[in-house]
């Protein structure tokens, strides 16, 4: 495999790993944070839903920024 093609594949894997980790971290942290807050404040399921939507919005924005930033 030529070196350029190999480096291109590694860059693609790196980007895919970044995107998947952004999604997993934002969704799970907002889910567990929302569940914990709902249990403490007795607001089930409202804070979980609000934090999930907020987590998805933040994840979408972060993924957009990650994909649009030029390679350094």
Spatial distance between the Cα atoms of 18 and 4, rounded to a whole number of angstroms: 21
pLDDT score, position 2: 73
pLDDT score, position 62: 96
Domain interval for residue 57: 25-72
In a domain, 11, yes or no: no
Q: Is the N-terminal amide bond of 16 cis, ω within 30° of 0?
A: no
In a domain, 5, yes or no: no
In a domain, 6, yes or no: no
Q: Structural domain tally of the chain?
A: 1
At 16-68, the pLDDT tens digits run 999 999 999 999 999 999 999 999 999 999 999 999 999 999 999 999 999 99
In a domain, 45, yes or no: yes
**Secondary structure of residue 65 in the 3-state scheme:** helix
Task: Give the number of other CB atoms < 10 A from CB of residue 7.
Answer: 10
Nearest to 67 by CA among 7, 5, 14: 14
In degrees, to the nearest 5, what angle opens at C-alpha 31 toward C-alphas 30 and 34?
A: 80
Whole-prediction pTM = 0.81
């Amino acid at each position: 495999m030529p070196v350029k093609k190999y480096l291109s594949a590694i860059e693609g894997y790196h980007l895919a790993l970044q995107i998947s980790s952004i999604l997993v971290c934002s969704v799970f942290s907002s889910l567990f944070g929302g569940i914990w807050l709902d249990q403490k404040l007795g607001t089930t399921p409202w804070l979980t839903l609000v934090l999930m939507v907020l987590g998805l919005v933040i994840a979408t924005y972060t993924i957009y920024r990650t994909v649009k930033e030029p390679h350094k």
